[in-house]
Amino acid sequence: MSILQFKKNILITGGAGFIGSHLVRLFVTKYPDYKIINLDKLTYAGNLENLKDIDSSDNYEFVKGDIQDKDFLADLFTKKAITDVIHLAAESHVDRSISGPMEFILTNIVGTANLLDTAKGYWTELKGHTFYHISTDEVYGSLGAEGFFLETTPYDPRSPYSASKASSDHLVRAYQHTYGMEVKISNCSNNYGSHQFPEKLIPLMINNIRNKKPLPIYGTGENIRDWLWVEDHARAIDVIFHKGEIGETYNIGGWNEWTNIALVKHLCSIMDKKLELPQGESAELITFVKDRAGHDQRYAIDATKIKKELGWEPSIQFEEGLEKTVDWYLNNEDWVNAITSGDYQQYYKKHYSS
Ligand code: NAD
Ligand code: TYD
């Protein structure tokens, strides 16, 4: 099918990453009349094998590129006749933003500005084109013991990562307010599930338990996060893209708060069961380490608006999702070894050579 025959040519940025790959898979399989163009730089966090099951689909195309490169973007929009954007490409790990903030500023802020400005230049008539920006609840700052983040909560980002995401959210809103671009934003809580780079809490702990390495808990382990199954996030993005109001923000969360220490202990007990170890053995690996600089105490999303207005809610219980996640990591040891070593050759050879 030529590109002009599709109903929409949707540019999904960061589609080779954790959430992006789940979203690309959902859109490619659910909407054969949309062309999905996955633009990704393939940083350490982006892996094309995440999409091997759908990458020969007629309505899918991968383009390697950097959102920091505006000339490249201008060319891409023209060549692919982009009609809509769902923007996920970002540097996403808080600890990396503390040790090296500049790449976060360049990709998350300048890269988003490049995309907005390219879209504005290419879409001569802004009406009818959606620019949907995927953001985080971390822009709202840190909660105490009570309360939830609402869509109206004032921004108060505290890490270089959250400050860069907050900045990009403001730019997206400015393009609507100033130029009339048809934008949408969603701010989601912590995701978990398959294909997450094992530097984030849950996959890091699974991998360390399997390798009998210490489980580093920052500070006291009493910090709280609200966890959401990644495929539920992808479903929410689908609903917002199709039914969300232009110019609106939607908070997405799991109504699922856990202290880090309770979560890791729970994970240890699942791992003991799966690895047929005596109960309590994995938890012996827990090691309290120096706290993260500026560590936000608690995140918790009030996801009432998206439920009431768009009918979305999480589909699976955390216990079930966590067990599925553990199973995926245990069954995909090669994937973990390949992405952590940066050497995909062995992985490709084993799984995709015919
Ligand atoms: P990820 O780190 O797994 O993936 C990011 C992807 O972006 C990678 O494939 C990477 O190669 C690509 N990328 C990075 N820099 C790029 C650049 N300059 N040009 C093009 N591509 C580039 O991240 P994720 O966890 O999948 O998060 C995706 C988005 O969702 C991010 O915008 C993040 O802020 C947001 N978010 C994440 C979570 C979470 O829990 N992971 C929660 C809420 C919001
Ligand atoms: P993370 O997965 O990095 O997500 P975020 O910082 O964006 O919420 O961390 C989740 C929580 O787990 C956070 O409170 C920091 C904590 N944490 C640890 O205690 N040890 C670790 O090794 C990691 C990576 C995170």
- The number of the ligand 2 atom at minimal distance from the alpha carbon of 296 is 14
Tell me whether residue 269 is in a domain: no
Note whether 182 and 130 are within 8 A (CB).
Answer: yes
CA distances from 33 to 126, 131, 324 (A): 22, 19, 31
Active site residue 137: yes
Report the alpha-carbon distance of residue 96 to residue 254 in Å, rounded.
Answer: 25
Find the mean pLDDT for residues 186-196. Answer: 98
Residue range of the domain that includes 20: 7-192+228-255+300-314
159 lines ligand 1 (CB under 6 A): no
Residues sharing a CB contact under 8 Å with residue 284, sequence separation 6 or more, in sequence order: none
In this prediction, residues 34-51 reach a mean pLDDT of 96
Residue 170 covered by a domain: yes
Q: How far is CA 354 from the centre of its chain?
A: 32
- CA proximity to 20, closest of 3, 42, 1: 42
Verify whether ligand 2 is closer than 6 Å to residue 94 (CB atom).
yes
pLDDT in tens, 89-108: 999 999 999 999 999 999 99
Question: Would the CB of 41 count as within 6 Å of ligand 2?
Answer: no
Please report whether residue 178 resides in a domain.
yes
State the chain's mean pLDDT as an integer. Answer: 95
Write down the pLDDT at residue 341.
Answer: 78
Q: Is residue 91 part of a domain?
A: yes
How many structural domains is the chain composed of? 1
pLDDT-based confidence at residue 2 (cuts at 50, 70, 90) = low
**Portion of the chain with pLDDT greater than 70, in percent:** 95
Q: What is the mean pLDDT of residues 163-186?
A: 98
The single residue of 34, 60, 132, 161 carrying the catalytic annotation is 161
The DSSP call for residue 269 is H
- Exposed, middle or buried: residue 325 (CB in 10 Å: 0-12, 13-18, 19+)? buried
- Please report whether residue 102 resides in a domain: yes
pLDDT, mean of residues 5-33 = 98
Supply 95's token pair: 């600890």
122 lines ligand 2 (CB under 6 A): no
Identity (one letter) of the amino acid at 153? T
Spatial CB neighbours of 289, under 8 Å, sequence gap ≥ 6? 216, 217, 218
The rounded Å distance from CA 89 to ligand 1 centre is: 5
* Residue 188 phi, psi (nearest 5): -110, 155
Query: According to the model, what pLDDT value does residue 241 have?
Result: 98
Dig out the tokens for 107 from the structure. 């990709």
Tell me: pLDDT of 354 over 70.
no
Helix (H, G, I), strand (E, B) or coil at 61: strand
The residue whose CB lies within 8 Å of the most ligand 2 atoms, and thus the one to mutate among 136, 137, 199, 201, is 201
pLDDT of residue 244: 98
- Across the range 176-205, mean pLDDT stands at 98
Catalytic residue selected from 40, 66, 84, 138:
138
Ligand 1 atom closest to 252 (CA): 43
Share of the chain above pLDDT 90, in %: 93
The pLDDT assigned to 339 comes to 85
CATH number for 167: 3.40.50.720
Q: What is the average per-residue pLDDT within 190-204?
A: 97
- Contact (Cβ atoms closer than 8 angstroms) between residue 36 and residue 10: yes
Q: What is the mean pLDDT of residues 179-208?
A: 97
pLDDT given at position 340: 82
Q: How far is the CA of 58 from the centre of ligand 2 (A)?
A: 38
158 CA → ligand 2 middle, Å: 15
Ligand 2 atom closest to 260 (CA): 12
Task: Look at residue 77 and tell me whether its pLDDT is greater than 60.
Answer: yes
267 CA distance to ligand 1 middle (Å): 25
Q: Does residue 273 belong to any structural domain of this protein? A: no
Distance between Cα 203 and ligand 1 center (Å): 16
For residue 341, tell me if it sits in a domain. Answer: no
In a domain, residue 134? The reply is yes
Q: Cα 275 vs. chain centroid, distance in angstroms?
A: 29
Q: Which atom of ligand 2 is nearest to the CA of 159?
A: 6
